[in-house]
Structure 1
Amino acid sequence: MVRMLHKMGIRSNLMYTLGVASIGLAFASWATSLKAEPHTGLDRADRWGIFIGEWAPTFFALGVALRIEETHPEPGQESMEETTTHGVPTRAGV
């Protein structure tokens, strides 16, 4: 699955960004639910915050898996990621 995401052009930086955004969204959904539905109380707001808050670890884990895919290509497969050769930045496969 990670290889398929990588081939689709999804990179680790996107997943890290989505992880950070989901933390903010979890807080925003908790606060919004707390204000918009005061009759349901804190329980429903907590459930919304926790539900969205569980997305962050998933995005971060996918980010790590994609970073590994980006930096450690399979043998025989050339990577277009930046590498260093004797301290000089180069493009692998170029």
Structure 2
Amino acid sequence: MRELTKIFKALSDANRLRILKMLEIRPLCVCEITEVLQLATSTVSKHLSILRDADMIVDEKQAKWVNYSLNTDGNQNYVGEMLPLISGWLRDDAI
């Protein structure tokens, strides 16, 4: 039940949905996400933390950068199952 609560909390914010949609295209660093969403770095970091806590994204350090990507290798591959639905719902929304 806790995992389900974390998932729905992560999906309950428009900016987090936009981040998931962006990460569907390719891995991104915080600075790229910040630039597209026009949000403060601290705000984007908080959104990424919530998505990571829900096991929806993973981070990978590459030199001085940390890139975020969708977690398609988790124990529960719900991200892969949910993304087509989310993308369909957001089809007409700009990132």
Q: Give me the TM-score of the superposition, normalised by structure 1.
A: 0.27
- TM-score, normalising length: structure 2: 0.27
Q: Looking at CA atoms only, which structure, 1 or 2, has the larger radius of gyration?
A: 1
Structure with the higher strand share, 1 or 2: 2
